[in-house]
Amino acid sequence: MTRYSLAIDIGGTFTDAVLLASDGRSFVDKTLTTHENLLDGFFRGVELVLGRAGVGPQAVDDVVVHATTVVTNALIERKGPPAGLILTQGFRDILYIRDEHRYDMYDPQIEFAEPLIPAERTFTLDERTWADGTTAKPVCREAVEAIIRQCRAAGIVSVAVCLLNAYRNGANEEAVRTVFAEQAPEIYVSLSSEIAPQMREYLRASTVAINAYSVPITRPYLTALIAELGRRGFAQQPLIMLSNGGVIGAERAGRMPVRMIESGPAAGALVACYFSRLFGIPDLISFDMGGTTAKACLIQGHEPLVTGSFEVDRRYRFKPGSGMPITVPSIDMIEIGAGGGSIAWVDSLGLLKTGPESAGSDPGPVCYGRGGTRPCVTDADVVLGILDPEQFLGGDMKLDAAGAREALAGLGARLGLSAEKAAWGVFEVVCEQMAAATRTHATDRGIDYRGLPLLAFGGAGPVHACMVAELVDGSTIIYPPLASVLSAFGTLVTPAQIDLVRSLVAPLEGLDWVAVDATLQSMIDESSQALKEAGIREADLRFSFSIDLRYLGQQSELRIDLPGDPREQRESGAIRRLFEQEYEQQYGLKLDDMAIEVVNWRVTGSGGEPQRAAAASGTRAVAAAPAVRPVWIRGEARPVPVYKRGELAAGQRIEGPAIVEERETTIFILEGWTLSLHETGSLVAVRAKESK
């Protein structure tokens, strides 16, 4: 009996749908994202793939997984209903004062986004908790009731509560919620001590404000989704992809939308994990390059790196610091403002730059012929001959090669270079930009990137991956099938997972294991509950533990993954040794006299490995003869063979330089690389040792 699972990934431009059958067949399609009502696109995608498979909704008896950009859209558009914010008396401007820092020291014109919840909807309470967790002043019920009256008058439907030091003890925040639950059950309350129980009031307030702002958007959205799926005859409750790469039930996700923000990109990183397991390669770099940005993620031991904080909606020239910070677990993604639509320009020093300004898809690069006049990365790829102007999107979209060449000639004139040499410059600079970001990101995390294989996908990824690989000293590149809908596919090969973190600041020496035990147990209970809601059986539950440590007096922690459940050994000495090893590896020395402090405990609950996979697409027995076209490489025109991906034969080896075209993307390999078709349907490029 064939089982079916379904995945829908709503991105900024396209909504991708994948239907996967247990016999390995897959059905994929794309449709434009419908921003006015995202669910229209969702169900259009569903109908397309069900139609291709010739089955009805009832056939989908395995999971329905959903990744969505709904929260990000809500934050950028800011059209949601009003939310309120409750802070400690005397500290009402936390969102306005931020950390008092100018993110660009030299630019006097910088700007910040207006706070998501403005001053007129911010309320304060005369209450206080100290940093050691003791309650100095409890919450007064009448004061909360007064706030409730003001909320009602202002039409507030959702409130965020962020009281000082609540990361240490959330009792006062809970007291606020209790009064709301009794007096105003229609107003949804988000607590900072639940959403982001970590030190630093601005980060916590920003995070819980984002959550409260999004709840009134995500809850109706997910409720409508559940209802519509049921109405159409789907038996399964949908699972929602989270930023940390886990999936949870839609109901629970609706209460913590701040955790859904990066769900699409997270799905992309999970695909990389899937291929890392498929190929038996524990460590690799996933490299996804699209129209406006490139995203890279480091996979270590078949798992993506996870970070504790990130930023959304950067308002001023995409600069870090100009957006809103969020501290919840998320896949640790490097996002680089470099895509096919990135504009190339020459700065006042005569240096060639690419991005961060992007021509997007409208007008798009010059070669799109939609009125773009400034040379983009894609224009350079056309001038170089890497992209065939007649075969873009399988020939559905003809590119204006002459226009692209004219734009590059103009750029070249400013550099004293020919159009072709300028185009190669653009190609090199954009690749170096991505490589540099990857190097910094990796070394920042103490990871040696040299020699790591790349997994290349996204429309522009396979075009540039080979050059990027050379620049990060890589020698293997995997080009997976289904590249254009790979993120949606990622949600189906992902185990259900939830990450929890709790601050429990204490010296490592003489740790109070009774308190640790209680904290860990409550985290295990909470994640078990969430996973069971996501349909995981008790027997499949798995937990892993990690701990954030620092030398006493430092403020940034190192995360140490523990080999088992720490409550069994209760061995502080072993934990100290793990920390020292990691510290020395990252910073070149260890500090013997310094005491070590525990900051956070982390529990990751997961629900075993899903057994879904796509089979290889069929290949020909005999290799087809390639066409040949000139491609400009390092300033020289060279005849380069051009293959069709669907016409490659098993076992066929292609020496670089070479091009392999498919409908949505083009693979370009340089000299010194050899490409072959792997049994899984992926193409694999390997660099010969002797070449530079």
416 forms part of the interface with other proteins (CB under 8 A): yes
Indicate the SS3 state at residue 383. helix
363 prior amide bond cis, ω within 30: yes
DSSP assignments along 502-525, one per residue: EEEEEESTT--HHHHHHHHHHHHH
Q: Which residue lies nearer to other proteins by CB, 130 or 513?
A: 130
- Please pick, from the candidates 283, 388, 428, 540, the single residue that binds other proteins as defined by CB under 8 A: 428
Q: Which residue lies nearer to other proteins by CB, 398 or 439?
A: 439
Q: Which residue lies nearer to other proteins by CB, 221 or 424?
A: 424
**Count of CB atoms within 10 A of residue 381's CB?**
25
- Please pick, from the candidates 32, 351, 506, 688, the single residue that binds other proteins as defined by CB under 8 A: 351
User: Rounded to an integer, what distance in angstroms lies between the CA atom of residue 189 and that of residue 85?
Assistant: 10
Q: Which residue lies nearer to other proteins by CB, 352 or 560?
A: 352
User: Rounded to an integer, what distance in angstroms lies between the CA atom of residue 268 and that of residue 478?
Assistant: 14
- Please pick, from the candidates 54, 588, 618, 639, the single residue that binds other proteins as defined by CB under 8 A: 588
Q: Which residue lies nearer to other proteins by CB, 91 or 318?
A: 91
Q: What is the dihedral of CA 331, 335, 340, 341, to 10 degrees?
A: 130
For strands 454-457 and 558-561, give the pairing.
unpaired
- Please pick, from the candidates 32, 181, 393, 594, the single residue that binds other proteins as defined by CB under 8 A: 594
User: Rounded to an integer, what distance in angstroms lies between the CA atom of residue 689 and that of residue 692?
Assistant: 8
Q: Which residue lies nearer to other proteins by CB, 347 or 690?
A: 347
Print the SS3 string covering 180-216.
Answer: HHHHCCCCEEEEHHHHCCCCCHHHHHHHHHHHHHHHH
Give the residue from 590, 565, 588 showing the smallest Cα distance to 579: 590
- Please pick, from the candidates 425, 480, 657, 672, the single residue that binds other proteins as defined by CB under 8 A: 425
Q: Are 485 and 30 in contact (CB under 8 A)?
A: yes
CB of 449 to other proteins, least distance (A): 10
Q: Are 166 and 173 in contact (CB under 8 A)?
A: yes
Q: Are 248 and 496 in contact (CB under 8 A)?
A: yes
**Sites for other proteins among residues 96-115 (CB under 8 A):** 96-97, 99-102, 104-112
Q: Which residue lies nearer to other proteins by CB, 45 or 412?
A: 412
Phi, psi of 33 (to 5 degrees): -70, 135
| Stretch binding other proteins (CB under 8 A), from 299-307, 323-331, 372-380, 430-438 | 430-438
- Please pick, from the candidates 4, 14, 123, 167, the single residue that binds other proteins as defined by CB under 8 A: 167
CB of 334 to other proteins, least distance (A): 13
Q: Which residue lies nearer to other proteins by CB, 307 or 586?
A: 586
Cα angle: 371, vertex 367, 69; to 5 degrees: 80
Instruction: Classify the phi-psi angles of 133: left when phi > 0, otherwise alpha if psi is within -120 to 50, otherwise beta.
Output: left
User: Rounded to an integer, what distance in angstroms lies between the CA atom of residue 289 and that of residue 337?
Assistant: 10
Q: Which residue lies nearer to other proteins by CB, 180 or 601?
A: 601
164 forms part of the interface with other proteins (CB under 8 A): yes
Residues, the chain, total?
A: 692
Q: Is 56 exposed, middle or buried (0-12, 13-18, 19+ CB in 10 A)?
A: exposed
Tokens of 98: 């931020």
| Stretch binding other proteins (CB under 8 A), from 43-51, 270-278, 401-409, 434-442 | 434-442
Cα angle: 153, vertex 155, 156; to 5 degrees: 110
509 forms part of the interface with other proteins (CB under 8 A): no
- Which residues are registered as beta bridge partners of 344? 354
**Sites for other proteins among residues 439-468 (CB under 8 A):** 439-440, 443-444
CB of 667 to other proteins, least distance (A): 24
| Binding letters toward other proteins, positions 468-497, x by CB under 8 A | ---x-x------------------------
Q: Are 560 and 546 in contact (CB under 8 A)?
A: yes
**Sites for other proteins among residues 180-239 (CB under 8 A):** 199-202
| Stretch binding other proteins (CB under 8 A), from 93-101, 207-215, 263-271, 517-525 | 93-101
Range 105-116 burial, b when 16+ CB lie within 10 A, else e: eeeeebeebebb
Give the residue from 448, 457, 449 showing the smallest Cα distance to 488: 457
| Binding letters toward other proteins, positions 519-558, x by CB under 8 A | --------------------------------x-xxxx--
510 forms part of the interface with other proteins (CB under 8 A): no
- Please pick, from the candidates 591, 615, 623, 686, the single residue that binds other proteins as defined by CB under 8 A: 591
**Count of CB atoms within 10 A of residue 440's CB?**
12
Distance, C-alpha 471 to centroid of its chain: 23
| Stretch binding other proteins (CB under 8 A), from 206-214, 355-363, 586-594, 648-656 | 586-594
513 forms part of the interface with other proteins (CB under 8 A): no
Q: For other proteins, how many residues bind (rule: CB under 8 A)?
A: 64
Residue ranges in contact with other proteins by CB under 8 A: 90-93, 96-97, 99-102, 104-112, 130-131, 164-165, 167, 199-202, 346-353, 415-417, 425, 428-429, 432-433, 436, 439-440, 443-444, 471, 473, 505, 551, 553-556, 586-589, 591, 593-594
